[in-house]
Structure formats: C-alpha cells, structure tokens
C-alpha cells in the first residue's frame, strides 16, 4: 500500500465531516488470529476495510480515497483523548498505532501533572 498523508485541523466540523466515517482496517492475513483472540467482534464489511493482496475489500467501496490515514488520525485523536484534556498542538505521525499513541498520551499526561 502506498503511503498516505493528510493535514487537517481538528475542529468539531472537520472531525464529523472528514474523520468520523473512516473505518478501521485489517490485513486479511491477520483476520483469523484476531478472531481467535476474541477480537474484531462486531467487525464486518459494513464497518471495516479488509486489505487482501494489496487490494482494499469493502462492501460499498472506500468512503474517502485516503480512508486508511483518516482512520489512523481518528485513532490518534481518540488515544490522545486519554489525557483528559484538549490537546492543542501539531502532531506528525509516521506509522502510528495504538501502542505508540497511548505511550505518547502517557508522556503528555505526566508532563501535565508535573505542571
């Protein structure tokens, strides 16, 4: 899959219009393992994009040409919300994932608590 890029100001309007509809995605090769671990419950082609042999498989087609990066940004916004405060800043993420996002949220929260 080619790299995707999106620069966006996170406002309530932009969040609703540009990010909220971005579906999660999974590589077909990982799907069996996720299901056997009890994960991906409720997952379907209605709410997820499956990547199989480099092609995107979804019921209605992609909602956005760069839906994958939009979902990654949605994940970042949600994970940083764990700080309990509105984040004002500029985030540049390369290959983000929940683990790294939560690590960043933890570092930010520690700094907030230190003052």
**Residues 6 or more apart in contact with residue 60 via CB below 8 angstroms:** none
Q: Rounded to the nearest 10 degrees, what angle do helices 98-114 and 67-80 cross at?
A: 30
52 is an active site residue: no
Whether 93 contacts 64, CB under 8 Å:
no
Query: Max alpha carbon distance in the chain (Å)?
Result: 48
Instruction: Name the catalytic one among 52, 71, 90, 98.
Output: 98
Whether 105 contacts 61, CB under 8 Å:
no
Query: Would you name the residues annotated as active-site residues?
Result: 98
């Amino acid at each position: 899959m080619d790299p995707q890029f999106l620069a966006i100001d996170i406002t309530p309007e932009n969040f609703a219009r540009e990010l909220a509809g971005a579906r999660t995605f999974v590589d077909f090769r990982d799907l069996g393992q996720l299901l056997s671990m009890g994960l991906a419950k409720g997952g379907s082609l209605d709410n997820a994009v499956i990547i199989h042999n480099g092609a995107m498989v979804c019921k209605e087609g992609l909602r956005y040409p760069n839906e994958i990066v939009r979902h990654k940004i949605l994940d970042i916004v949600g994970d940083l919300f764990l700080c309990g405060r509105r984040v004002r800043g500029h985030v540049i993420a390369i290959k983000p994932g929940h683990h790294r996002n939560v690590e960043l949220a933890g570092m930010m929260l520690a700094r907030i608590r230190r003052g």
